[in-house]
């Protein structure tokens, strides 16, 4: 897979990416120094567009225990709340947290 946006290149991982991948996943999806710059929205939008138009996916779904940043991103991407599984997963501190489930159908997708 290879998807390019104005600022990003999304591609399959290689062994050369191991250190960077550790840094990224150690801070969840994006390293903190890149937060609040629109990279998550840009990359998710490109991957969703690729899935719907190149792979002919019928539906995209996402889940998160982060009810603020991640849920906000899912809503900004046009995803709809499909359910909440109460006290379903543990957060970083070991506390039970709700799991928010969002989905988006191909028929509802438009490039923002």
Could you give the number of structural domains in the chain?
1
| CATH number for 101 | 3.40.630.30
CA distance from start to end of the chain? 22
Tokens linked to 67: 């009810």
Does 31 have pLDDT greater than 70? no
Closest CA to 108 of 86, 78, 64: 78
Considering only residues 30 and 19, tell me which one the structure prediction assigns the higher pLDDT: 19
Residues 6+ apart with CB under 8 A from 25: none
pLDDT of residue 34: 72
CA dist 89 and 81 (Å) reads 18
Tens of pLDDT along 32-42?
777 788 888 99
Give alpha helix (H) positions in the chain: 18-25, 39-53, 69-76
Does 29 have pLDDT greater than 80? no
- Its domain, for residue 18, covers 2-108
pLDDT of residue 30: 61
CA dist 2 and 36 (Å) reads 24
Least confident of 2-11, 79-88, 90-99: 2-11
> How many C-beta neighbours within 10 Å does residue 100 have?
20
């Amino acid at each position: 897979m290879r998807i390019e946006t104005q600022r990003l290149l999304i591609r399959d991982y290689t062994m050369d990416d191991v250190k960077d991948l550790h840094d990224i996943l150690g801070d969840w999806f994006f390293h903190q120094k890149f937060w609040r710059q629109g990279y998550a929205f840009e990359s998710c939008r490109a991957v969703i567009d690729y899935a719907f138009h190149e792979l002919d996916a019928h539906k995209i779904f996402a889940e998160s225990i982060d009810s603020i940043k991640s849920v906000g991103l899912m809503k900004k991407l046009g995803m709809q709340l499909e359910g909440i599984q109460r006290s379903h997963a543990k957060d970083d501190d070991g506390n039970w947290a709700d799991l928010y489930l969002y989905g988006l159908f191909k028929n509802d997708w438009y490039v923002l």
